[in-house]
Structure 1
């Protein structure tokens, strides 16, 4: 046969017999580098590949006198060696780059890069901003241009000492609350850049009515500062009906909105006064955003179904706002701070448990959430102290309280 034909046959035979030696060389190179950190010598790879190729060639009936004495054998051997060396190099590289301790827990608990964390007092915070376009959620109507622009220009400050998965959940909850989104999905990377996929609000009022209740609109005197979510008592004659405010709008609210709309073009177009001085900054609002200015208007409340008829028949209903009281959680944190203590959430590292449990009289473990082998690495719920019976283990999440210096020492000891 001519030389080009022999070369083509050699390439074919090399590819046919080189697949198995390449797979073995790549797998062996990866395993040796991953578990021992040592690179398998190239000479050993060559000997191994030729041995496997010769056995495979004998089984395939390729070792014949006419083949052994033809140029195609040399070409086939070169192809087998190149495939084996290439596969070994890739396996060795993969074994060097793959983390030694890779678990679903560590992937789920990815944290932010230290470059984007801002220290505010003793707490770390991060400003999350959207990246790319705000995409529409499949199965829902498209977002309006105003809502898309508002989400694109938004930024949100969140605590930086929690995993990215928890940051994503918190940002989704905030977006649902701030923009009444029907659904939203957020992905945050290590640089605090958020990819947002959202669905526009649907059925705004009906979505806010609790199940089993009805929405009723009343014309009455609205207290100043009344906002959605406030609990009120509606007094009509000798009967009092409790409800939750869904919306409130008065004549002053309408006037304020019109005045703000009229002033916006002038504000955006003004550059300064005649004498070169800039206009003064607008005064901050005197009430929270979304709160009513008060006065005569209409308020929509969610009440029990049996109370709807009574409210519709009322002539002059009056509203009394109920106090929500002080959250016990905030009271507890206030007492801790007044005592000069700080509260931190930590994750116990492997080095923190090598020398046995780390204890200090100045630091109190408030709660522990741990994972165990009996649950295949799944985390249990929070166990609140101080009655924690067994020592901390690697992977445990803990809330601790104590003086700041003692907590910092404890954090350095267990979080390594």
Structure 2
């Protein structure tokens, strides 16, 4: 039985909405993915063909479920339903394409979806940093010698602060690196819970003086008047009655060990310094200079200027501006060029060495090492292309 025109139009709108929901969702998804991932827009005609095909499948399934629909469907109903399906499909496609164009590439970090992060309500957060508290005793690592009691206490009492927007896995890695660097540990294992509490296991280096010497150097100890504030790695000139020898401080001790110390304890800062006075220094020198220093009982130690550390100053300026420097290794499917990476690439590893500030069209390769600078949010997006 034929319906009147208004009834046929209303019935066509109903059928168009019912059968056009799935084509609209498919059109939105394809429009967004193609624009966001590939950077191209799907032609509208192709979207219409796909939408009408899916609507036809939905209409056929609807007719199987309710055979009366076929008997009550006429030309005005079909035309109206097709128009509704096409409008829904084109509108959904345009919205998906617009969202894909507006959303910056890399803003959706798929790998970060399953990463654990600290609980902002439970952890001690100070601005953009979180305080990591070492809970319980610092454990030993099987197969390594035990840590000294002073080192265990210093690790527990140090105020560890890291970026609050990092996932827990990255916080564990960075805290382990800092402990290994500041306390000369050979191996460090860190476990952090969502409250910012850390369980630490660490082991000391298996070698002491020998690992701080360059190839071809020898370590020689001499008695001397030790300058105040001498630190391992300082460049010095050791002056004897006969000649002078240049070297690098490997270790130093000042003050009389037999006299009780009345000075207040100095908080651990990660770099032990001398307090000045009579003491003994160990200097890394060449083999020929080592023989000459062994012939004297006492020498004068003069510290040479190393100049200003421009690298440290640069990192300080970047940190004050809210930027960080990160070392990354690209995964198996990296972007084509440096311009496609988030952040600014400071250096890129090549077969011939390192390329400083590579050009925007510098090609990238799998497993390539890079140094990248950017804000914490920008560096977080590197997780999509780094391993």
Deviations 1:142-188 (A, max 9, x none): 44555545544544123334454443333223323444433222233
Decide which of 167, 171, 184 is 1:167's aligned counterpart: 171
- Preserved contact between residue 223 and residue 294 of structure 1 (Cα < 8 Å): yes
- Aligned partners of 1:288 and 1:196: how far apart in 2? 17
- What are the within-5 Å matches in structure 2 for residues 242-253 of structure 1? 242-251=246-255
2:306 corresponds to 1:317: no
- Preserved contact between residue 252 and residue 294 of structure 1 (Cα < 8 Å): no
1:383 is matched with: 345
Residues matched between the structures, number: 251
Q: CA deviation at 1:217?
A: 0.7
Decide which of 168, 174, 180 is 1:176's aligned counterpart: 180
- Aligned partners of 2:307 and 2:249: how far apart in 1? 17
Decide which of 201, 216, 221 is 1:197's aligned counterpart: 201
- Preserved contact between residue 253 and residue 292 of structure 1 (Cα < 8 Å): no
- Preserved contact between residue 205 and residue 246 of structure 1 (Cα < 8 Å): yes
- Aligned partners of 2:371 and 2:210: how far apart in 1? 40
- What are the within-5 Å matches in structure 2 for residues 24-103 of structure 1? none
Counterparts in 2 of 1:225 and 1:165: CA distance versus 1, 3 Å: same
1:297 is matched with: 279
Q: CA deviation at 1:388?
A: 3.1
Counterparts in 2 of 1:222 and 1:198: CA distance versus 1, 3 Å: same
- Aligned partners of 1:332 and 1:368: how far apart in 2? 16
Unaligned runs of 5+ in 2: 1-107, 347-356, 363-369, 383-387
- What are the within-5 Å matches in structure 2 for residues 105-254 of structure 1? 105-106=111-112, 111-115=117-121, 116=123, 118-120=125-127, 124-143=128-147, 147-237=151-241, 239-251=243-255
- Aligned partners of 1:208 and 1:320: how far apart in 2? 20
- Aligned partners of 2:236 and 2:312: how far apart in 1? 23
- CA RMSD after TM alignment: 4.8
**By percentage of residues, which structure has more helix?**
1
- Preserved contact between residue 236 and residue 248 of structure 2 (Cα < 8 Å): yes
TM-score, L = length of structure 2: 0.50
- Preserved contact between residue 117 and residue 160 of structure 1 (Cα < 8 Å): no
Counterparts in 2 of 1:170 and 1:328: CA distance versus 1, 3 Å: same
Deviations 1:246-267 (A, max 9, x none): 2222335764x5325xxxxxxx
Counterparts in 2 of 1:203 and 1:397: CA distance versus 1, 3 Å: closer
- Aligned partners of 1:211 and 1:300: how far apart in 2? 17
- What are the within-5 Å matches in structure 2 for residues 245-264 of structure 1? 245-251=249-255, 255=259, 258-260=261-263
Counterparts in 2 of 1:149 and 1:173: CA distance versus 1, 3 Å: same
Counterparts in 2 of 1:331 and 1:237: CA distance versus 1, 3 Å: same
- Aligned partners of 2:159 and 2:317: how far apart in 1? 32
Deviations 1:104-143 (A, max 9, x none): x4379654443436345xxx22211123553321212344
TM-score, L = length of structure 1: 0.47
- Preserved contact between residue 125 and residue 157 of structure 1 (Cα < 8 Å): yes
- Aligned partners of 1:212 and 1:305: how far apart in 2? 7
Counterparts in 2 of 1:386 and 1:137: CA distance versus 1, 3 Å: closer
Deviations 1:85-108 (A, max 9, x none): xxxxxxxxxxxxxxxx996x4379
- Preserved contact between residue 185 and residue 202 of structure 2 (Cα < 8 Å): yes
